[in-house]
Amino acid sequence: DQDVTIVCDPPSGSTFLAGLTTVTCTANDDGPNASGDPNETVGTFIVEVADVTAPVISAPPPPPAEPTVIELPVTLQSGDESFEYDYESLISVSDAVDDAPTLECRTDPADNFGSAFVDIFSYGDTTIDCRAQDASGNQSTAEFVIRARYLYDINLILPKGRDRAGSTIPIDWQYIDRN
């Protein structure tokens, strides 16, 4: 018989997950063989899908040739030398295959990466290094900077009687360091 039907499980066109999947195919023609049994042949093969795509870390985008600088909305009191800040909301990770890739960061290159996103920051720039890894071992990295700076109040003292709107007014000013 020339008409052969081939049926596979899972069927042709199926989407395969990462890993190994056995496909079983059965070929059958319409007529019986010489002994009267159906002409049927069963075969199997293995499909291997490998995850070779690294996770994607979403961190604040860097300006050209510099790491990203984040100005923190932190109010410090006079005399404060450092502050605690949770930067987890600034970063995220996704992966094409793994629903839960790991994300770890560190603020000191001498430290190990960790999953705690709260750290103590001092004034100035602190570089945050992050690393993500999916279940297949694919890795990616990202870096950004948290900048803590003093904000100063400037009080303008206008000379008496010179407060007309739209006028050029000579002023005296003084700098008051509240830190």
- Tens digit of each residue's pLDDT (9 = 90 or more) over 133-146: 999 999 999 888 87
- Residues contacting 130, CB < 8 A, separation 6+: 57, 59, 91, 103, 104, 105, 113, 141, 142, 143, 144
- Residues contacting 105, CB < 8 A, separation 6+: 87, 91, 113, 114, 117, 128, 129, 130, 131
Of the candidates 15, 38, 16, 12, the one whose C-alpha atom is nearest the C-alpha of residue 25 is: 12
Per DSSP bridges, beta strands 68-71 and 139-148 are parallel
pLDDT digit string (tens) for the chain, length 179 residues: 567 888 999 999 999 988 899 999 998 877 666 666 667 888 999 999 988 888 888 876 654 445 455 565 565 555 667 777 787 888 889 998 899 999 998 888 888 888 777 777 777 778 888 999 999 999 999 888 877 766 555 555 555 655 555 555 554 445 454 44
What integer pLDDT is reported at residue 134 of this predicted model? Answer: 93
What integer pLDDT is reported at residue 44 of this predicted model? Answer: 94
- For the chain, state the CA radius of gyration: 33
Angle at 103 between CA 102 and CA 107, to 5 degrees: 150
CA distances from 74 to 5, 39, 82, 106, 177 (A): 71, 78, 11, 20, 18
- Residues contacting 118, CB < 8 A, separation 6+: 84, 85, 86, 87, 88
